[in-house]
Amino acid sequence: SAGVQLEGLLVGKNYTMKETVVPDGYVKSNDVTFTVKDTKDVQTVTMTDKWTVTEIHKQLLSDRTTYVTGASLELRTDKSNANSVVRTVDGIQVKWTSGTGKQTFYGIRPGTYWLVETQAPDGYVTSEPVQVTVTSSLTNTAVMYNDPTHVLIRKVDVHKIFRVVKA
């Protein structure tokens, strides 16, 4: 942005620029202290805004470190409403297919959301929705765990079941 030009500040004096209102999806900027120089040139002081960072992990329940690939995931405002997918401040829908590492999104507005698995990968049980809180801190982290399906296969000898024991 073009910024604001101030005039009449005292030469040699220190001033501090503070952010008092943080836009949604951004992290509060650090204060910027500057000293006015004795020059006729326009002095530029810059405060840099950063988006919030939200890292989402989809991992195996049994070891809580191995990434589960192929899960279809969405971040929603309402866990039961497929039309409530969250958008970042630049309009990107927060939905993806899990891969071999964390998924990172920038500029999610602070709030409480639901991480929903819309399709489990082959061989896995669909995870229950997980509540996720995004704050205006720089990095937010959420983890959803997957459990593989479990099937017990037994082979039984039918002859042993019906064997008659002589007394």
pLDDT band at 162 (very low <50, low <70, confident <90, very high): low
Q: Is the pTM of this model over 0.75?
A: yes
Question: What gap in Å lies between CA 65 and CA 36, rounded to an integer?
Answer: 52
Q: What is the DSSP letter of 161?
A: H
**Six-digit token string for 52:** 């919030």
Classify strands 139-146 and 53-60 as parallel, antiparallel or unpaired: parallel
Q: What pLDDT is recorded for position 166?
A: 63
Percent of the chain with pLDDT over 70: 93
Per-residue burial over 58-81, b if 16 or more Cβ lie within 10 Å, else e, is: bbeeeeeeebbeebebbbbeebee
